[in-house]
Amino acid sequence: VRRHRIAVIAGDGIGKEVVPEGLRVLEAVSRRYGFGLEYDHFDFASCEYYLRHGAMMPADWKQQIGSHDAIFFGAVGWPETVPDHISLWGSLIQFRREFDQYVNLRPVKLMPGVPSPLAGRKPGDIDFYVVRENTEGEYSSIGGRMFPGTDREIVMQETVMTRVGIDRVLKYAFELAQRREKKHLTSATKSNGISITMPYWDERVEAMAPQYADVRWDKYHIDILTAHFVQHPDWFDVVVASNLFGDILSDLGPACTGTIGIAPAANINPERVFPSLFEPVHGSAPDIAGKWIANPVGQIWSAALMLDHLGEREAAAAIVSAIERVLAEPALRTRDLGGPAGTIACGQAIADAV
């Protein structure tokens, strides 16, 4: 039988509550579809680890998880004890960068039972992907501060975009669009305001488009694009964006479909040289951590993206369909969706449904 080795990192806060539900559903689906999953659990990439060791991860973290087939990740961050830019840059951002997970793929889909804040939209109306560049761009580590503590204080941070970095994520996005029914790619830009890097981004899109003649493409400046997400979410099929713009669009998109509480994300190294990482879009949610009321759907949907990446297509589809059936049941929804179910009850229901 096929076997996949998974590195499991629950992280902080509700990460520790929703990851077990993801595993529960993975167990159910692997039995049903006849493949094996082996798990190794790691306690690093958490703020608790940081407080004990003074670093978010051990020096040999790459060796410890670098040969796994995938990383199943919960959430990281506990701002009360560790500032976000330390906890995130010391873990999640490291994974993305060191494992060259240069595609961040996030489905935006209006699901049954999840009321959209947008008037008159129903399941089927909103169904697209955000493809986010995940290693460079605005998230650079180059920059610094001068004249600290004085009135002349100044901080600078460099946005860095490379031809290699842009072209490979555009290629992924064009190919994804090619495989979809609408074959429509939208590029997020801001070349009218961010006048050096973003015109270059546009240039690369234009240079690449002729190779994908069957894909219809357009571009919008990020300001009006966020407006279109709210006013015309049905316009979109595949949206490709820089690191920062993709970050924004992949929270805004799920918000338009009712909640970021159920949205999943795949951090992909398409060449499979390194393991890819699968995580919910939501964070560690300190405000509800420990209450076992967190919605596990984002984590479980991430498991589906992981199986898809590992080639277990049918099993992945079975999870998504199970999620849809469970969300359609008011009694099985968690509190954030107006239901009575706790984290475990909701996870168990999805496991039963697969």
Q: Where on the chain is the footprint of its own copies (CB under 8 A)?
A: 77, 83-85, 88-89, 93, 115-120, 138-139, 141, 143-145, 150-164, 190-197, 199-200, 222-224, 226-228, 230-231, 243-244, 247-248, 250-252, 254-256, 260
Taking the complex as a whole, the smallest distance from the CB of residue 328 to ligand IPM amounts, in Å, to 28
CA angle 61, 243, 157 (to 5 degrees): 85
Q: Give 56 or 248: the residue with its C-beta nearer to its own copies.
A: 248
Taking the complex as a whole, the smallest distance from the CB of residue 219 to its own copies amounts, in Å, to 11
Q: DSSP of 254-286, one letter per residue?
A: HHHTT-GGG-EEEEE-TT-SS-EEEEESS---T
Instruction: Work out what residue 155 binds among its own copies, ligand IPM, none; the CB cut-off runs from 5 to 8 Å by kind.
Output: its own copies
Instruction: Work out what residue 195 binds among ligand IPM, its own copies, none; the CB cut-off runs from 5 to 8 Å by kind.
Output: its own copies
- Cα–Cα distance, 25 to 35 (Å, whole number): 13
223 binds ligand IPM (CB under 6 A): yes
Taking the complex as a whole, the smallest distance from the CB of residue 193 to ligand IPM amounts, in Å, to 4
Q: Which of 11, 20, 13, 97 is nearest to 299 (CA)?
A: 20
Catalytic residue flag (residue 214): no
- What is the sign of the dihedral through the CA atoms of 341, 346, 348 and 354? positive
Taking the complex as a whole, the smallest distance from the CB of residue 154 to ligand IPM amounts, in Å, to 22
Between 155 and 194, how does the x/- string for binding to ligand IPM read (CB under 6 A)?
-------------------------------------xx-
Taking the complex as a whole, the smallest distance from the CB of residue 336 to ligand IPM amounts, in Å, to 18
Q: Give 137 or 347: the residue with its C-beta nearer to its own copies.
A: 137
Q: Measured between alpha carbons, how far apart are the two ends of the chain, in Å?
A: 20
| Cβ neighbours of residue 7 closer than 8 Å, sequence gap 6 or more | 39, 40, 42, 64, 65, 68, 70, 71, 72, 275
Catalytic residue flag (residue 234): no
Instruction: Work out what residue 256 binds among ligand IPM, its own copies, none; the CB cut-off runs from 5 to 8 Å by kind.
Output: its own copies
β pairing state of 36-42 and 143-146? unpaired
The SS3 assignment for 351 reads helix
Q: Give 282 or 309: the residue with its C-beta nearer to ligand IPM.
A: 282
Q: Which of 225, 268, 323, 222 is nearest to 101 (CA)?
A: 268
Catalytic residue flag (residue 139): yes
- Cα–Cα distance, 117 to 131 (Å, whole number): 23
Yes or no: say if 304 and 328 are a contact pair by the CB < 8 Å rule: no
β pairing state of 36-42 and 103-109? unpaired
Q: Give 138 or 312: the residue with its C-beta nearer to ligand IPM.
A: 138
12 binds ligand IPM (CB under 6 A): no
Which residue out of 40, 218, 223, 352 is catalytically annotated? Answer: 223
Residue bearing tokens 């997020």: 188
Yes or no: say if 46 and 29 are a contact pair by the CB < 8 Å rule: no
Catalytic residue flag (residue 223): yes
- Cα–Cα distance, 77 to 87 (Å, whole number): 6
Taking the complex as a whole, the smallest distance from the CB of residue 308 to its own copies amounts, in Å, to 24
247 binds ligand IPM (CB under 6 A): yes
Q: Give 304 or 322: the residue with its C-beta nearer to ligand IPM.
A: 304
Taking the complex as a whole, the smallest distance from the CB of residue 184 to ligand IPM amounts, in Å, to 24
Using CB under 6 A, which residues numbered 58 to 97 contact ligand IPM? 88
Which residue out of 49, 50, 129, 139 is catalytically annotated? Answer: 139
Which residue out of 237, 247, 308, 336 is catalytically annotated? Answer: 247
Instruction: Work out what residue 209 binds among ligand IPM, its own copies, none; the CB cut-off runs from 5 to 8 Å by kind.
Output: none
For 68, left (φ over 0), alpha (ψ -120 to 50), or beta? beta
> Of all helices (H) and strands (E), which one includes residue 106?
strand 103-109
- Cα–Cα distance, 62 to 59 (Å, whole number): 8
> Which residues contact ligand IPM (rule: CB under 6 A)?
88, 192-193, 223, 247
* Residues labelled catalytic: 139, 190, 223, 247, 251
